[in-house]
Amino acid sequence: MKMKPGLLVFVAFILLNSNAFSKDKNFYIFLCFGQSNMEGNARIEGQDTTVDNRFLVLEAVDCPNLGRKKGNWYAAVPPLCRCRTGLTPADYFGRTMVANLPKKVRIGVINVSVAGCKIELFDKDNYQSYASTAPSWMINIIKEYGGNPYARLVEMAKLARKDGVIKGILLHQGESNTNDTLWTKKVKVVYDNLMKDLHLSPKKVPLLAGEVVHADQGGVCAGMNSIIATLPQTIPNSYVISSSGCIDSRDNLHFNAEGYRMLGKRYAEKMLSVMGYKITKTK
């Protein structure tokens, strides 16, 4: 039987655009970026190695040691950034989210972070001048993201939104910009670029920014928290996540595993609140 031309075109359209019909509106995706505390600096412990199958990570680099390939979804067993990074706030953010959301909802995270970097590394128009002055160890990390971490984050986000809906952005950065009074404006440049490049609405996609190690833990960059606190004045749909009481490591720069768990839960509690959910469980 001959297929009518109009029907043939329709069938071809369906086949070519089948991914549009596979998007799950109950798959909530969150973009994570920043420097070492978002990358994850603490040793992964036994309690961190089991995870609800509703919590997934989109791998942003190839990790043969983990059996993961860039651009694919996997169970969100840490590490969630690159192949050998540690525990990150994203871990217990995702766990707390699935514990408090309806069973039909899944959570996916994408984590593109670079230890030691300034926020300038994520400025798509000026990152090259900053990267050209970076130390060799940082350049090696940047190379893992194809030489452009911002572009890799956008690339992965575009893949992810074929499967679900981008609901928010998590940032933890600031140690390398300590005392930089222009930091909030620089963050806004990155946020605005993400909104534009991913065709997202600022009113629907909140930005959550965590404080650096708090003064109550002897944080060596704690003074930066007074600048981070002003972010909502520059980005209306943004929220600051307190690090007060989040236990840090000996260097007073990074959190320890328990500190990351605490901070990650706080990111989730704020996101759930913004989304209109009540927090009933912590993970």
**Using CA of residue 21, residue 22, residue 28, residue 32, what is the dihedral sign?**
negative
Residue bearing tokens 């009518």: 4
The full DSSP string for 211-266 is: --S-GGGT-TTGGGHHHHTTHHHHSTTEEEEP-TT--B-TTSSSB-HHHHHHHHHH
Active site residue 36: yes
Please state, in angstroms and rounded to a whole number, the distance separating the CA atoms of residues 164 and 48: 25
Q: Which of 36, 113, 238, 243 is catalytic?
A: 36
What H or E segment, with its residue span, contains residue 65?
A: none
Please state, in angstroms and rounded to a whole number, the distance separating the CA atoms of residues 217 and 162: 42
Q: Peptide bond preceding 149: is omega within 30 degrees of 0, i.e. cis?
A: no
Q: For residue 216, give Cα distances in angstroms to 243, 245, 248, 263.
A: 9, 7, 10, 14
Chain centroid to Cα 266, Å, comes to: 14
Please state, in angstroms and rounded to a whole number, the distance separating the CA atoms of residues 253 and 232: 24
Round to the nearest angstrom and report the end-to-end CA distance of the chain: 58
Active site residue 52: no
Active site residue 251: yes
Q: Which of 22, 125, 199, 251 is catalytic?
A: 251
At residue 174, the 3 state secondary structure works out as coil
> Are residues 29 and 110 in contact, defined by beta-carbon separation less than 8 angstroms?
yes
Q: Which of 91, 113, 254, 273 is catalytic?
A: 254
Q: Could you list the active site residues?
A: 36, 251, 254
